Structure 1
Amino acid sequence: MKKNRPIRWSNWSGSVRCHPEAVVYPASVGEVAEIVRHARDQGKQVRIAGRGHSFTPLVQTEHILLSLDSLQGLLEVDEEGQTATLWAGTQLKQAGKLLHQEGWAQENMGDINVQSLAGAISTGTHGTGAQLGSLSTQVEELTMVTASGEIIRCSKQERPQLFRAACLSLGTLGVITQIKLRVLPAYRLHYASRRCRLSELLQRLEEWKKYNRHFEFYWFPYTETVQAKWINVTDLPSGGKKWWKAWNQVVLENGLYWLLSEGVRLLPGLSGPVSRLSARAVPVSEEVGESHRMFATPRWVRFNEMEYAVPAEAMASVLEEIRFFIQREQIQVHFPIECRFVQKDDLWLSPAYDRDSAYIAVHMYKGMPYDKYFTGVEQIFRRYGGRPHWGKLHYLTAEELGDLYPKWNDFREIRAEWDPDGVFLTPYLQKLLGGGKREAVQV
């Protein structure tokens, strides 16, 4: 077990920083259990760090930060049961490669693949697909180290109540060490991107959502332009304009977009012109490739983000209200608004709990003020019963969250049962979840 004392830990966007007294890198489940038992005995908190792609202070601690970086890799594939067991610290990108080498693939992924597997499921990371759930719904079994240092397993058959809470738990029920996923035989996807008008998209929204395995779109503020993306399973051989995709992703979507974003940060009045310029640069392209390669897009331009899940049927109405709000308040934003769909599930803290959902995400370039934009958009989300993505910024209190999640109190009860001493709680999480055994403080 390695240990060091860094000056600080920060998340990807730089919005969350902390000074833990120690960062530990266990290399086995036994070492994880030892760390947790020691922390409990010393009255310390343990938080689990993935790749830092959450924008909320879920990991922030002054006590012990536990990294799963040394617990990565594919452990087992059950071909008959169509499941694969991986170490919880495995990056999604690496998981895709390892599964593909064995002839398998995940059902769905998001558009960022650098997160750890445990971090992705613990915060409700999702892709898009009206008939597909979040990454958490792919989980068949979890191996965890509890607050007492006990190593346990849970699934739909074994400890089912704990399982429905642990599949999306914000890291408050234990340290997830191994994850068994439901997988599919490896498959290829056909990806298509094109520009269209927002009015056309809204008219055909239900059709495109229903008849495509994956459908998502990006609306550019201060324009009538949308980038629509369709992704479907195909038997066609891999191919396409790979040179154009590389040029677009590296040079246009990252390099040039960073320069434009810096210009907007210095001169916020350029937000509208830059958004219109970006809309004109939307790629019209097609490509076929292995599934694990087709989902993700490099994201090097840093930003802060808010994302909410609203009822799927409310997508068009919510988007129209956001459009009106941006124009009325002249919000200085040039990042497009990202819109995706997720099937309902039965996980207690899932934003898609018992409700087919449309996820709508708003972004602001790093270094630019976002409070007015995000609070205004959040008011719109809330009018439609929106639930926040746990890894994205929001301003809700424990009481307000409790009104949105039918199983909120069930989750709090099971969390208190499995971690009565608050080993996995921090002041932020105590405030978010409504307290714990240790006294809650304002953050």
Structure 2
Amino acid sequence: MLSVIKTIQGKRWSNWAQTFESSPEKILYPSSIDEVVLLVKEASKQKKKIRVVGAGHSFTRLVKTDDWLVSLDLLSGIEQLDKAASTVVVLGGTRLFQLGEELGKAGYAQENLGDINVQSIAGAVSTGTHGTGIAFGNISTQVLELTIVTASGEILTVSEVENTRFFKACLVSFGTLGIIVKVKLIIIQCPVYEYRSDKIEYPHFEPQLERYINENRHFEFYLFPYSDLVQVKTMNKTERKPQRIFFHHLNSLILENYLFFVLSELSRWIPGTASLISRLSAKGISKTVVTAKSHELFATPRLVKFREIEYSIPLQYFRKALQEIRTQIEEKKYRVHFPIECRTVQADDIWLSPSYQRDSAYIAFHMYKGMPYEAYFRDMEAIMQKYEGRPHWGKMHTLGKRDLLSRYPRLPDFLAIRKELDPEEIFLNDYLKNMMDEETFQAPEN
């Protein structure tokens, strides 16, 4: 019955960061919504579990399965672009960079994106992927309508006007309510931005933090362990014509990937050099000013593999948390050379969004692949939890259901919807059951 669907059997699968491997019985590549319906019904009949993968950019075991792994790579592309309504309908497997390029050709863009654009739109929505800018929510807030295939094989459309009671649950659901096969997004006319990157001493930067947040359309910064230098990046609209930015991307590729890979390998082989490498990296930041279309500037290539935790905290705690992070690093002398990425996101009303009902600061900690991360992540996570931290769902964390219940007031409502739409738990794996099962309270394995 599944012979019409491209299927690979007996192949091991690993996520991008290589934090886990999986041995699915089958990897299925449906090329139409009808094929998604077919495989879901067959999985139900055979009592198989389904996990859906996009780019595999989540660091956790969200999609680990020994049953059926479904890729939406063949279910990709723009289905409808409505310029009058400023909306676009895209199939679930569409990668963000593909969407950006196609929208750009038509003179449109998503209003905000993260710093990585290889994810599928369904995966980005499902995990609450975000960019930065206090006037903008995460990518899920751009969604007007979702089309999902539920565990029964029903094609269900959810929005503010149709099946509304499911909508806020479906917007961040890590694929546990159904397979997202279609997404309708609000879009904007493609802006031209002036991108600026510079470095500033932390004692001069900290008093200006609120000004940076409030006076820039998009703003982020990087703290460098053992250094007082901060890299500040801003993007604001300009009337200037866009430039060709080939050399800007080439510079990012060489400096932030190839050279940083060499330095990271040195740090891995000689851990005592981590603090020196961090300081050298900070000093190496040069002043950059580039003008280009928005989708050409949001993302940068990420070839150096790492481990990552990221937490959202209420914006009012931002400065205190930064001070504590810097103090802790100096005191504990962790062997870490990766900078700490800091961004801001507007409050929303999506049940499992880390920005639910609060303007948020997102702080991300990284450790190079192959270097011990446990103590550093444990202590940074403790600081984040002290300030009411909520984890990014695609990043490593140690919170179980008891912790999550205290941080997400709508989690019980979400679980009720989940039980209604997937009573046989077709879309759960052990990792997700560990976080959500009524009887399970231990922390999930990273």
Q: Is the 8 A contact 2:245 2:292 kept in 1?
A: no
2:55 is aligned to 51
1:176 is aligned to 180
Q: Secondary structure at the match of 2:187?
A: strand
Deviation, 1:252, is 1.1
CA distance in structure 1 between the partners assigned to 2:289 and 2:366 by the alignment: 26
Q: Which runs of 5+ in 1 are unaligned?
A: none
Q: Following superposition of structure 1 onto structure 2, how do residues 203-214 of structure 1 map, counting pairs within 5 Å?
A: 203-214=207-218
Q: Secondary structure at the match of 1:415?
A: helix
Deviation, 1:246, is 3.3
CA distance in structure 1 between the partners assigned to 2:372 and 2:438 by the alignment: 30
CA distance in structure 1 between the partners assigned to 2:43 and 2:402 by the alignment: 30
1:423 is aligned to 426
Query: What do the CA deviations read for 1:264-289 (whole angstroms, capped 9, x no partner)?
Result: 01111000000011001112110011
2:277 is aligned to 274
Q: Secondary structure at the match of 2:398?
A: coil
RMSD (Å) for aligned C-alpha atoms: 1.5
Distance of aligned partners of 1:77 and 1:246 in 2 relative to their CA distance in 1, 3 Å threshold: closer
Q: Secondary structure at the match of 1:392?
A: coil
2:338 is aligned to 335
CA distance in structure 1 between the partners assigned to 2:413 and 2:201 by the alignment: 44
1:150 is aligned to 154
Choose the corresponding residue for 2:315, options 312, 322, 339.
312
CA distance in structure 1 between the partners assigned to 2:10 and 2:296 by the alignment: 34
CA distance in structure 2 between the partners assigned to 1:323 and 1:51 by the alignment: 33
1:62 is aligned to 66
2:226 is aligned to 222
Equivalent pairs counted in the alignment come to 440
2:291 is aligned to 288
Deviation, 1:7, is 2.8
Choose the corresponding residue for 1:265, options 264, 268, 278.
268
Structure 1, 2-11 or 126-135: larger mean CA deviation: 2-11
CA distance in structure 1 between the partners assigned to 2:250 and 2:96 by the alignment: 24
Q: Is the 8 A contact 1:427 1:441 kept in 2?
A: no
Query: What do the CA deviations read for 1:376-416 (whole angstroms, capped 9, x no partner)?
Result: 01110011101000000000111111110010100000000
CA distance in structure 2 between the partners assigned to 1:349 and 1:441 by the alignment: 18
Q: Is the 8 A contact 1:241 1:286 kept in 2?
A: no
Q: With structure 1 as the length reference, what TM-score do the two structures score?
A: 0.97
Choose the corresponding residue for 2:190, options 186, 189, 192.
186
Q: Following superposition of structure 1 onto structure 2, how do residues 247-396 of structure 1 map, counting pairs within 5 Å?
A: 247-396=250-399
Query: What do the CA deviations read for 1:87-120 (whole angstroms, capped 9, x no partner)?
Result: 1100000000111122211010000000111001
Q: Secondary structure at the match of 2:57?
A: coil
Q: Is the 8 A contact 1:399 1:434 kept in 2?
A: no
CA distance in structure 2 between the partners assigned to 1:126 and 1:148 by the alignment: 31
Q: Secondary structure at the match of 1:275?
A: helix
Q: Is the 8 A contact 1:9 1:17 kept in 2?
A: yes
CA distance in structure 2 between the partners assigned to 1:415 and 1:333 by the alignment: 39
Work out the percentage of aligned pairs sharing the same amino acid.
Answer: 46
CA distance in structure 2 between the partners assigned to 1:40 and 1:427 by the alignment: 18
Distance of aligned partners of 1:90 and 1:241 in 2 relative to their CA distance in 1, 3 Å threshold: closer
Q: Secondary structure at the match of 1:239?
A: coil
CA distance in structure 1 between the partners assigned to 2:245 and 2:428 by the alignment: 48
Distance of aligned partners of 1:374 and 1:7 in 2 relative to their CA distance in 1, 3 Å threshold: same
Q: Is the 8 A contact 1:427 1:442 kept in 2?
A: no
CA distance in structure 2 between the partners assigned to 1:271 and 1:296 by the alignment: 26
Q: With structure 2 as the length reference, what TM-score do the two structures score?
A: 0.97
Deviation, 1:16, is 1.5
Q: Which runs of 5+ in 2 are unaligned?
A: none
Q: Is the 8 A contact 2:400 2:444 kept in 1?
A: no
Choose the corresponding residue for 1:107, options 107, 111, 135.
111
Choose the corresponding residue for 1:89, options 90, 93, 103.
93
